């Protein structure tokens, strides 16, 4: 589904991705792990179109998207969540999701718009909120949601696009164990509907969710394999995981 070849991104004298190669299979959960500064978020930025690479190529479903702007990648079937929640804080929770549904459908809210069409948008938005466990907060301002619920809202926004590829940048960041477990359960529910490219520091979540794992070190993929293969890889243990995950 996604093929990345020779991806390079430099920030002055720092090379964040350094000839990075990666391939995703349709329908899989593919986790990307690595130490801080390994280039994980920069990789997500380049796949989503937030950043353009200095060299290399990105293809999605056989189409070269290397220089495609972000909104065209969304239209092509790629959506993302961010390390820091990125929602309209002053709008209600349901309005946030309704806007995402409306953007995907290509319609617009307006005075002359048939009421039944607008109702359908909000019906879908409320169904998505039910799915992510936010139905009871639908009419609350997004700004009133605690961190874990804001991350759930961001996932609802991504789901509203009906993307075939979801880019998830640390969805469990700053969550407690209960919140992390809820997000893991939600991602398990999503798997199979969309291909997931997951960047995450929570190793328990990664090893529960991932079909395959790629380990980034110094802007390159050190190893790719099943969770069992990554656990057993001596180079990975030395570079990142440590002996605690080698069992």
Q: Are residues 174 and 247 in the same domain?
A: yes
Q: What is the pLDDT of residues 135-172, one digit of tens each?
A: 999 999 999 999 889 888 988 998 898 899 999 998 88
Q: What is the pLDDT of residues 187-229, one digit of tens each?
A: 998 888 899 999 998 999 999 999 999 999 999 999 999 999 9
pLDDT at 89: 87
Tell me what percent of the residues of the chain surpass a pLDDT of 90. 62
Q: Evaluate whether residue 82 is within a structural domain.
A: no
Q: Evaluate whether residue 1 is within a structural domain.
A: yes
Q: Are residues 99 and 120 in the same domain?
A: yes
Q: What is the pLDDT of residues 16-34, one digit of tens each?
A: 999 999 999 999 999 999 9
User: For the chain, what is the domain count?
Assistant: 2
The C-alpha angle with vertex 135 and arms to 132 and 141, in degrees rounded to 5, equals 100
Q: Are residues 64 and 181 in the same domain?
A: yes
pTM for the model? 0.86
Q: Are residues 72 and 3 in the same domain?
A: yes
Q: Are residues 64 and 180 in the same domain?
A: yes
CA distance 72 to 91: 25
pLDDT at residue 115 is higher than 80: no
pLDDT interval class at 117 (50, 70, 90) = low
What DSSP element (H or E) covers 38? Answer: none
CA distance 121 to 134: 17
Q: Are residues 130 and 152 in the same domain?
A: yes
Q: Are residues 117 and 61 in the same domain?
A: no
Q: Which domain, by its residues, includes 113?
A: 88-162
What DSSP element (H or E) covers 20? Answer: strand 14-24
pLDDT at 45: 95
What DSSP element (H or E) covers 188? Answer: helix 177-190
Q: Evaluate whether residue 83 is within a structural domain.
A: no
pLDDT at 25: 96
Q: Are 48 and 5 in contact (CB under 8 A)?
A: no
Q: Evaluate whether residue 198 is within a structural domain.
A: yes
Q: Are residues 106 and 219 in the same domain?
A: no
Q: What is the pLDDT of residues 120-137, one digit of tens each?
A: 999 999 999 999 999 999
Q: Are residues 71 and 136 in the same domain?
A: no
Q: Are residues 191 and 221 in the same domain?
A: yes
Residue 98 CA to its chain's centroid (Å): 20
Q: Are residues 92 and 122 in the same domain?
A: yes
Per the prediction, the chain carries an average pLDDT of 88
């Amino acid at each position: 589904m996604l093929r990345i070849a020779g991806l390079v991104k430099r920030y002055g004298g720092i090379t964040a991705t350094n000839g990075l190669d990666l391939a995703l299979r349709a329908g899989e959960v593919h986790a990307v792990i690595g130490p801080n500064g390994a280039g994980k978020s920069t990789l997500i930025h380049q796949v989503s179109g937030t950043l353009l690479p200095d060299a290399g190529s990105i293809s999605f479903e056989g189409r070269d998207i290397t220089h495609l702007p972000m909104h065209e990648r969304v239209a092509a079937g790629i959506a993302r969540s961010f390390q820091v929640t990125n929602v309209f804080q002053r709008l209600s929770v349901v309005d946030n999701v309704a806007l995402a549904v409306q953007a995907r459908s290509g319609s617009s809210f307006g005075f002359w718009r048939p009421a039944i069409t607008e109702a359908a948008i909000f019906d879908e938005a409320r169904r998505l909120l039910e799915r992510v466990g936010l139905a009871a907060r639908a009419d609350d301002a997004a700004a009133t949601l605690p961190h874990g619920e804001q991350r759930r809202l961001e996932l609802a926004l991504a789901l509203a696009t009906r993307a075939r590829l979801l880019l998830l940048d640390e969805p469990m960041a700053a969550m407690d164990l209960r919140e992390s477990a809820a997000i893991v359960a939600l991602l398990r529910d999503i798997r199979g509907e969309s291909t997931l490219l997951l960047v995450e520091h929570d190793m328990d979540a990664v090893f529960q969710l991932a079909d395959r794992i790629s380990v980034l070190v110094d802007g390159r993929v050190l190893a790719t394999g099943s969770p069992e293969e990554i656990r057993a890889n001596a180079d990975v243990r030395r570079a990142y995981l440590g002996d605690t995950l080698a069992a």
